[in-house]
Every structure is written in C-alpha cells, then in structure tokens.
Amino acid sequence: MPGNPFTDPNWAKEMTDFIDRWVVKVRTTVTDRVVFAVRAVVFGLVIAIAAPVTVILLVILSTKLLQRIIAIAADHDSSIWISYAVMGGLLVLLGSLMMRKRFVSEDA
C-alpha cells in the first residue's frame, strides 16, 4: 500500500502502480466479460437470422438444379413436377428422421 507522500520519495510511482493494477483488474473482470457477452448475443442473432435464410435458399437452389438435370431427359413441365416430388420426398424423409430423434428411448 502506498505510504506517506511527505516521507516516501517513491510515493508517486507506487500510487501510480497501485491505481494501474486496479484499473487492469476492473477492466479484465468487468469489461472483458461484457464484451464477450455482447459478442455472443450479436453473433447469435446473426446466426439465428442467417441460418433459416440459408436453408431456404439451398432448398430453392437444389430444386432448380434438380429441374435442370431432369430437363435433360424429360420435357420442362415433367421436370418441374418430378423435381418437386423428389425434393418433397427428401424433405419428408429428413423431417421424419428428425422427429424420430426428438425423444430419447427409455430402453437405452
């Protein structure tokens, strides 16, 4: 702890070091945690908004790509309904797999 400023010639340096230690301690315990929490919230919001948009755009892109591939062997109208049926089947299969995994079985 800093001593008497009248008798200690190093009083200014010791007081500056003491204040500096406390400022660093407060900054690391408070500010760094707040910055971490704010970053987590911001990145979480960005992911929460971007993930559904990305999934929807990927489904649209997959459907259009499937239509182009099927259009090589079939006419345009048939390629559209076939691609819808294939994508619908894949999405139903994916949904049923996800529904099956939502509960943990009591046997395990």
pTM score? 0.62
How many Cα atoms sit within 13 Å of 70 on the Cβ side? 19
Q: What are phi and psi of 23, to 5 degrees?
A: -65, -45
8 A C-beta contact, residue 11 and residue 4:
yes
What tens digit of pLDDT does each residue of 14-70 get? 888 999 999 988 888 888 889 999 999 999 999 999 999 999 999 999 999 999 999
